[in-house]
Amino acid sequence: MSAALNKNKVILGLSGGVDSTTAALLLREKGMDVTGLYFDVSCGNEEGRRAAEQAASEIGIPFIYRNVNQLFESTVIDNFCREYAAGRTPNPCVFCNPTVKFKILTQEADRIGAFHIATGHYANTACSPQLGWTIRRAANEKKDQSYMLYRLPAEIIKRLLLPLSSMEDKQQARAIAREQGLFNADKKDSQEICFIADDENYADYIRRRGFTITEGDFVDKEGKVLGQHKGLIHYTIGQRKGLGITFGKPVFVIGVDPVKNTVTLGDHEDLFSREVISSESFFPATGSGRMPEYLENAQVLAKIRYAAKPAPARIKTMPDGRILAAFEEKQRAATPGQSIVFYLSDCVVGGGFIE
């Protein structure tokens, strides 16, 4: 990164939705020189490109288009399909942010001489002597997206501006866009998985991409065969509906075994565990999977999924390098492939993929 980068210049990920558009408005109101960057992850999303370009035009900022389909395919989509095929439940946004979105934002910022990068995420940043640069929770706990950003390194975070960090709710962002007469002020929220069409489910998507879906056995905790499942990708830990099998009482998916191609069913209480093990960890303070010394055996708050409430836990590094989180209270349905994210107060200090 060049020392000559302009600290009044910022490049913002502009999707054409109300969040990123409002973020651009707020940055411009602060006197920042804003450029909008649209990522095309699907190789020809003309509707998305037109929306982003229109947003940039109405705000009055320069617009850059980048086709990142090849990078997105080889990283995010490939990981998504392979994880599901292996009986895990990935979160593609967590994987995309460091490998695609913020990577390209930083490259383009360097190219145009901008120090800052920005997005419409509901989160904040912070810097302290102990933690260094970290992602911080947003003011609105329900909208907070800090969980999605835990794999960002400190060198990215120190350049990051998150204008929506203090928004109380999304209606506040919509109101700002509406006041400016922007076309997307009342545009509906984007779908959960950006690369899968509204009329297609993820199982069909994975099958269409050439992955073989093999039927196997439902089993109980003792290994007794209970019936046939239609393929591991159709099931996730904690699932109760759509099993295609009935027992006269509620049963839940409590385990998925890709080696044996089995789905284990059990009772609701079987879903609760006090200890959660994670791998492929990342800690912003070290820029790697190595846990900082001040976190070893430390009491933190931990989330085992995006919508979960942070819960007290003590974390430590295991002999094999994985991270063990021991919660004060049992957590429901810790799901392999999802992320566990650690906080000190409201600052993200690390996390990893649940094993």
Task: Among 266, 288, 310, give the residue marking a domain's end.
Answer: 266
Both structure tokens of 329:
């209270």
pLDDT digits (tens, 9 = 90+) for 124-156: 999 999 999 999 999 888 889 999 999 999 999
Query: Are residues 254 and 329 both part of a single domain?
Result: no
- Residues 6+ positions from 111 with CB-CB distance below 8 Å: none
How many Å separate Cα 149 from the centre of its chain? 6
**Annotation-wise, does 14 bind a ligand?**
yes
Provide φ and ψ at 267, rounded to 5°: -85, 170
* Among 83-87, 115-119, 214-218, 264-268, the least confident range: 83-87
Query: Are residues 56 and 169 both part of a single domain?
Result: yes
pLDDT digits (tens, 9 = 90+) for 33-73: 999 999 998 866 788 899 899 999 999 999 999 999 999 99
What's the CATH code of the domain at 218?
2.30.30.280
Query: Are residues 36 and 168 both part of a single domain?
Result: yes
Q: Containing domain of residue 308, as a range?
A: 271-354
**Annotation-wise, does 244 bind a ligand?**
no
Query: Are residues 174 and 301 both part of a single domain?
Result: no
**Annotation-wise, does 210 bind a ligand?**
no
With 0-12 / 13-18 / 19 or more C-beta atoms within 10 angstroms meaning exposed / middle / buried, residue 103 is: middle
Gap between the Cα atoms of 252 and 235, Å rounded: 10
Q: How far is CA 187 from CA 55, 120, 184, 241, 337, in A?
A: 12, 15, 5, 31, 31
**Annotation-wise, does 251 bind a ligand?**
no
User: Is residue 194 included in any domain, yes or no?
Assistant: no
Query: Are residues 229 and 316 both part of a single domain?
Result: no
Which candidate in 81, 93, 96, 347 is catalytic? 96
Gap between the Cα atoms of 140 and 45, Å rounded: 31
**Annotation-wise, does 15 bind a ligand?**
yes
Gap between the Cα atoms of 153 and 230, Å rounded: 40
Mean pLDDT (the chain, rounded)? 93
Question: Is the pLDDT score of 182 beyond 80?
Answer: no
Instruction: Tally the domains of the chain.
Output: 3
Is 127 part of the annotated catalytic residue set?
A: no
Is 194 part of the annotated catalytic residue set?
A: yes
